[in-house]
Amino acid sequence: MAAYLAANQTRFLDELMDWLRIPSVSADPKFHADVLRAADYLKARLEEAGVQNVEICPTAGNPIVYGEYLAAGPGAKTVLVYGHYDVQPADPYELWNSPPFEPVIKDEKIYARGACDDKGQVYMHVKAFEMMMRDGQGGVPCNIKFMFEGEEEIGSNNLEIFVKANKEKLKADVILISDTGILANDVPSIEVGLRGLSYHEVTVTGPNRDLHSGLYGGAVQNPINALCEMIASLHDENGHITIPGFYDNVDELSADERAEMAKAPFSEEDFKQSIGLPDSYGEKGYSSMERTSIRPTLDVNGIWGGYTGEGAKTVIASQAHAKISMRLVPHQTSAEITEKFKRHFESIAPQGVTVEVRPHHGGEPVVTPTNSIAYRAAADAMETTFGKRPVPTRGGGSIPIVAMFKSELGLDTVLLGFGLDSDAIHSPNEHFGVFNFLKGIETIPHFYRNYAAAQ
């Protein structure tokens, strides 16, 4: 295996970079043709690797690339691998040191939008499969189904429809996903908890047109000022969220559980340094690690209104807009929080403006079991390749489909990810370590073998 990987790693990287050149941005309709090209590219590479019955399955949105390898036979275990080939928008482009869709390797890292999230991690699976097929080390020990979607970054709406319609085809024993990270290259870890998401676009409307701030200023409610007031009121002075009932269903961890968590290797100093800030900040009474994992949060992801060009324009805008999202923890639900946010935000509109709240997509928080044979197979695989037992962690991000797979297919998920928090996913200069990419390819076959052998 090591020999095959060493002999082919340059080609593996070249193929990934070719794929990263296709700007498969799902959020922006102008990249639609590129999304389709990225799906075709993936299909071709899966077929070359030896995956069978590879199809581009149409949906109402972007297609799902599906393929399978069932040669282990009906008695063998089946793993359903999920990933996504769409990527986040790359703007602001001007902050990239090299263009987001012209991948380069610098300091042993691949820089490109999607390098880590999730094309790089999906491609580890394609190449791990190829390696099992060709390296003469015993082949593929279990059945594998691959399902890669193109709408993860915009809410996976059509994936759920696809899953509901194809329960027989997708039958498996466990889900395997590489779309998370490890604590550090010398501190392997496996995420066992994920936060949910409730995402909204809000519009505050005041006067029926943009007004001259000299002629009208002082006598009309300015929609931007109003929006700022409304947003400011969503947190109190302790960093708590003020939406009525927001914390009702939050799973509060016991002192013991928190003490256990605090043992994970996490350096507050390194955290602050990595983002260039003198102070961390957040909800009073919780550590940074807790704030990003076991506590729900609310952030403005974007805001715009009025004149934003060069120079000065003395205008009072007719409208102001923001994108506001909340990360949820067990046992909050996306539907519950969406409803509470919408009702509250509409109720706090000050005199003189009207407010519209448009929910985007949501996702449910999850905790995955650590006592399953699949989790142990993953932990053992990492221990083999990293030389250290991985730490179970609860992450702050959201992979909403994990909860959906549980409810629709009855399957638990193993989150065998190889990224790093510092990979700048969703940011300019996203990257993925060459070490991490290759370590993923090396580790995945061990997972299959451990899992196939386990009783």
Between 337 and 438, CB nearer to its own copies? 337
From the CB of 237, what's the least distance to its own copies, in Å?
10
Between 93 and 134, CB nearer to its own copies? 93
- CA angle, 47 then 115 then 157, to 5°: 70
- CA angle, 9 then 14 then 18, to 5°: 150
Active site annotation includes 130: no
d(CA 102, CA 113): 9
Between 281 and 387, CB nearer to its own copies? 281
What b/e sequence results for 380-410 when a residue is b if at least 16 CB atoms lie within 10 Å of its CB, and e otherwise?
Answer: bbbbebbeeebbbbbbbbbbbbbbbbbeebe
Between 255 and 312, CB nearer to its own copies? 312
From the CB of 372, what's the least distance to its own copies, in Å?
24
From the CB of 212, what's the least distance to its own copies, in Å?
4
Element (H, E) at 436: helix 434-453
Among residues 209, 194, 80, the alpha carbon closest in space to that of 144 is found at: 80
Q: How many CB atoms lie within 10 A of CB 363?
A: 24
Locate tokens 């179970």: which residue?
392
Active site annotation includes 151: no
From the CB of 121, what's the least distance to its own copies, in Å?
15
d(CA 404, CA 411): 9
Among residues 447, 360, 436, the alpha carbon closest in space to that of 398 is found at: 360
From the CB of 396, what's the least distance to its own copies, in Å?
5
Given the residues 151, 152, 380, 430, select the one marked as catalytic: 152
Given the residues 86, 151, 179, 430, select the one marked as catalytic: 86
Specify whether the CB–CB gap between 298 and 235 falls below 8 A. yes
Between 130 and 423, CB nearer to its own copies? 423
Which residues are designated catalytic? 86, 152
